A = this chain, B = another copy of it.
Amino acid sequence: MAGSTYGTVFRMTTWGESHGKALGVVVDGCPAGLPLEEADIQRYLDRRKPGASSIATQRKEADAVEILSGVFEGRTTGAPISLMVRNTSQISKDYSEIASYYRPGHADYTFDEKYGFRDYRGGGRSSGRETVGRVAAGAIACKALEQLGVTVCAYTRSIGPIEAALERFDRQAILETPTAMPDREAAAAAMEYLEKSRQELDSVGGCMECIVEGLPAGIGDPVFEKLDGNLARAVMSIGAVKAVEIGDGQKVAMRRGSENNDAFHMEDGKVVKTTNHAGGILGGISDGDTVVVRAYVKPTPSIYLEQQTVNQSGEDIYVRIKGRHDPIIVPRAVVVMECMTAVTVLDAMLLNMSARMESVADFYR
């Protein structure tokens, strides 16, 4: 099982390699009647595109999306929505060098061990370009969630030691700074830090955060389909993510129960939590509060500095990885996290519709 399908009711199947002809996704199970046009998706794809700034790869891809099916007269029909982005800039360069050894921190070795050989051009299926399909599908999920009053917003929380201050939260800055930070001051500092790392031929790691607002209580299921469990998988499945947290995450391990429990109280006739250490999820089910997910991302494994590795002939060698590579993964992964979260949450909302017999009976009355 290659594992390229995600979701139960709202389900995406992605395909494509870094240097293949195209990349894409089939979204199946999207409710019928959702207004959708290519621009809705393009907006999201543009956020993961290599930009012009020094912190993103120089590869120039239009990444123009084409809707091939599932939309008629501007609305989804309930049929699978096939989306495709042609690869246009893959340079027919010589890959023989990269093909001949295992890049440290990459999946070259593990692909060879699993499949017996690999498409070595630009990382093949293990390239970050694989996320084109996720983002295209996520754009649709975000559009559907909007109609349900739910918004999903991801951003860079930190780059190396530079952390965004949430007191200065500025949603526009996420889209406008090359760092995808919601804090322009931190963004400026991070740019300096990145420039320094780039000059040192190295790369850096960081943290991204995603918040879901407007999600009603009751979404997610107990036991194996917990909303937090599924979000953890969704986010950890993004290349380079090495840790996932919900709410206060790791910090809870050092707390007392009396500090960590969120009290309930009444507000305007509704039950609300006084604090949100839980990150909006209790027992795997949303509690009506903001859902908070955090992901820690390793530094770009491709660096210009010399590294030790092994070649196909089984010899110890030293290499410097040439080509275009981002000094940090986080800013371009932010939209991927937003999209994986959106798909996960929407799928859980669709599945939740049959949780009560009474609602089912109402629906069919």
Would you call B76 and A357 a contact (CB within 8 A)?
yes
A92 in the interface, Cβ–Cβ < 8 Å? no
Identify the stretch in A77-85, A174-182, A184-192 within 8 Å (CB) of chain B at 4 or more residues.
A77-85
Q: Is the CB of B257 within 8 A of A15?
A: no
The answer to whether A298 touches B255, judged by C-beta atoms less than 8 angstroms apart, is: yes
Residue A360 CB within 8 A of the other chain: yes
Contact with B along A107-128 (1 / 0, CB 8 A): 1011101111111010011100
A125 touches B77 (CB 8 A): yes
| A257 and B303 within 8 A (CB) | yes
CA distance A306 to B160 in the complex (A): 41
Which residues of chain B are near A23, meaning CB under 8 Å? 69
Instruction: Tell me if A173 counts as interface (CB < 8 A to partner B).
Output: no
Shortest Cβ gap from A195 to chain B (Å): 14
* Chain B residues, CB < 8 A from A82: 15-16, 22, 24
Query: Is B355 touching A77 in the complex (CB atoms < 8 A)?
Result: no
Residue of B nearest to A318 (CB): B263
Q: Mark A215-237, 1 if CB is under 8 A from B, else 0.
A: 01111011111101111111111
Cβ-defined contact, B264 with A310, below 8 A: yes
Q: Which residues of the other chain, B, contact A17 by a CB distance below 8 angstroms? A: 69-70, 72, 77, 79
Inter-subunit contact A205/B253 (CB<8 Å)? yes
Provided the pairs A1-B9, A68-B21, A296-B250 are in contact, do residues A115 and B77 lie with their beta carbons within 8 angstroms? yes
Majority-rule SS of A interface residues: mixed
Within 8 A of B (CB), among A326-356: 349-356
Task: Output the residue of A34, A237, A285, A357 with the most chain B CB within 10 A.
Answer: A357
In the complex, which residues 132-179 of chain A have their Cβ closer than 8 Å to any Cβ of chain B? 144, 147-149, 158, 160-161
Inter-chain contact B223/A3, CB cutoff 8 Å: yes
Which single residue of chain B is at the shortest CB-CB distance from A302? B257
Q: With A1-B11, A1-B28 as given contacts, are A360 and B356 in contact (CB-CB < 8 Å)?
A: no
A224: which of B237, B307, B355 is its contact (CB, 8 Å)?
B237
A50 on the B face (CB < 8 A): no
Nearest CB of chain B from residue A264's CB, rounded to whole Å: 4
Give the distance to chain B from A37, nearest Cβ to Cβ, in Å. Answer: 14
Known: A124-B79, A224-B6, A256-B204. A147 touches B232 (CB 8 A): no
Whole-angstrom distance between the Cβ of A67 and the nearest chain B Cβ: 8
B-chain residues with CB within 8 Å of residue A355 when the two chains form the complex: 31-32, 78, 114-115
